[in-house]
């Protein structure tokens, strides 16, 4: 159920270049699922006006805490990065449709690019709890923007690719994928649309789920700011409410 809540910031820190990890506490945590997101109001004033959509990276229901990772790239996230322990955080959520965790049976491939990496972390944790082996391929721009490599490695085999070659494989996640076995039954991916299309094309016939990044206004399907062309009878889908996770093949390239 979607609710608006003033949550409490537990802690916040910068974990990589312009990448912040923020943990907050509140009652809506119990409703969260991997792959969903929250809509954050960065400040109490009307500047900045719009909420910011941020994916859920980790869920701790017993503590009523969740963690989100985000990149500072505008006024809203710059204001959010100033939040400290004990501050109030205006949260609307959880929003959207998450990853179908139970679709994976034996082994799953998780592929993330940049700020598309965070929602895969809670997914990996839940799959591991279910006894599903996970392999992670994470793509970043450079070594100073890499995050959560050790956290993913603690769960399963993890590969890192950087565009400039300063860490892991030089290039994109596809350069890693072309060199590893495709013996998984299900894949999950989140990141820029070109990366998602490339992953989709690598594994025709495989069961896959893709989480799309799109600019959003309302986050609840009312403003139509995040529509994408669809390959099914709907013609267009709203990433915020129909997604952000879709079965492979639904969103047109």
pLDDT at 45 over 80: no
Please, which pLDDT band fits residue 114 given cuts at 50, 70 and 90? very high
pLDDT: which is higher, 211 or 49: 211
Q: Where are the alpha helices (DSSP H) in 35-103?
A: 75-80
Q: Tell me, what's the pLDDT at 253?
A: 65
Same-domain check for residues 55 and 119: no
Please, which pLDDT band fits residue 90 given cuts at 50, 70 and 90? very high
Please, which pLDDT band fits residue 107 given cuts at 50, 70 and 90? very high
Same-domain check for residues 111 and 81: no
CATH number at residue 191: 3.40.50.80
Same-domain check for residues 139 and 119: yes
Same-domain check for residues 91 and 106: no
Average pLDDT over residues 139-158: 98
C-beta of residue 12 within 8 angstroms of C-beta of residue 83: yes
Please, which pLDDT band fits residue 126 given cuts at 50, 70 and 90? very high
C-beta of residue 60 within 8 angstroms of C-beta of residue 25: no
Average pLDDT over residues 157-167: 98
Average pLDDT over residues 102-110: 98
pLDDT at 222 over 90: no
For residue 122, the enclosing domain spans: 101-213
Distances (CA, A) of 114 to 35, 88, 117, 185, 192: 15, 27, 6, 24, 8
Other CB atoms within 10 Å distance of the CB of residue 45? 9
Please, which pLDDT band fits residue 197 given cuts at 50, 70 and 90? very high
């Amino acid at each position: 159920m979607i609710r608006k809540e003033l949550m409490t910031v537990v802690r916040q820190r910068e974990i990589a270049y312009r990448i912040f990890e923020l943990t907050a506490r509140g009652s809506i945590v119990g409703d969260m699922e991997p792959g969903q997101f929250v809509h954050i109001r960065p400040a109490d004033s009307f500047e900045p006006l719009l909420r910011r959509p941020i994916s859920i990276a980790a869920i701790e229901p017993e503590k009523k805490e969740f963690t989100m990772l985000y990149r500072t790239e505008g006024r809203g996230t710059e204001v959010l990065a100033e939040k400290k322990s004990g501050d109030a955080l205006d949260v609307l959520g959880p929003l959207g449709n998450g990853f179908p965790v139970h679709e994976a049976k034996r082994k799953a491939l998780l592929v993330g690019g940049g700020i598309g990496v965070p929602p895969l972390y809670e997914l990996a944790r839940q799959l591991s709890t279910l006894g599903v082996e996970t392999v992670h391929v994470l793509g970043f721009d450079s070594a100073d923007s890499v995050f959560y490599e050790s956290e993913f490695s603690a769960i399963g085999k993890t590969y890192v690719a950087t565009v400039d070659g300063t860490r892991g494989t030089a290039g994109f996640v596809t350069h890693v994928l072309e060199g590893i076995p495709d013996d998984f039954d299900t894949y999950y991916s989140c990141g820029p649309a070109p990366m998602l299309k490339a992953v989709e094309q690598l594994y025709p016939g495989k069961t896959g789920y893709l989480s799309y990044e799109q600019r959003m206004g309302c986050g609840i399907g009312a403003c139509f700011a995040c529509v994408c062309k669809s390959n099914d009878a709907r013609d267009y889908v709203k990433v915020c409410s129909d997604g952000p996770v879709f079965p492979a093949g639904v969103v047109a390239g």
